[in-house]
Amino acid sequence: MTSNTDDTLVIGLVSVSDRASGGVYADQGIPALQDWLTRALTTPFRVETRLIADERPHIEATLTELADTARCHLILTTGGTGPARRDVTPEATLSVGTREMPGFGEQMRQISLHFVPTAILSRQTAVIRESADHAALILNLPGQPKAIAETLGGLKDADGNTLVGGIFAAIPYCIDLIGGPYMETDPAVSKAFRPKSAIRPQGKA
């Protein structure tokens, strides 16, 4: 466990999987998240990674630790969001949040529905966890690497035009609003959207 005492952007990555955490197979969720974030973010950042079993008390404790002790500004989970009895990531996420952000889950399902009708079975959600001097945005993402990239970055046609916006475009401004570091992105991967009044000159983060 580490504490964040400066303005460095800290991102928590949590892979929820009984079999990966038990060593049955290698986890793919955290590497996929790290790869996408490395391509998308131009702001320096540090990651805190956790590979855990699909147990609600463990998920709740991990999310709480990442937000309150490691002081992550953004926490991304992958896995455990379906209708199976073992899938309890959404319940754990909602239980540690102080405010729900339902728009993220709605958009994630809209993106996935372009590929599979079973996207309506997904229960992905997002919350903000607030304390007296810190806040973190926590989002549930799909478990498959391809779906992670599509959810974060959205869908584009052969000419590079956006067909469906990815959720990450809204994340930097959300982090602004809850008091976190100013995040800048590579527009070729994910163009962050902010109102004109909230845009800072490049390099003035």
- What pLDDT score was predicted for residue 203? 57
121-170 pLDDT per residue, tens: 999 999 999 999 999 999 999 989 999 999 999 987 788 777 888 999 99
Task: Please check whether residue 62 is in contact with residue 52, taking contact to mean a CB–CB distance below 8 angstroms.
Answer: yes
* 7 pLDDT above the threshold of 90: no
**How high is the pLDDT of residue 6?**
58
pLDDT band of 1, cuts 50, 70, 90: very low
Position 5 scores a pLDDT of 45
Q: Does domain 9-198 match CATH 3.40.980.10?
A: yes
Q: Residue 63 to residues 1, 53, 156, 157, 201: CA-CA distances in angstroms?
A: 12, 13, 32, 36, 33
In this structure, of 52-61, 95-104, 153-162, the range with the lowest mean pLDDT score is 153-162
pLDDT at 2: 43
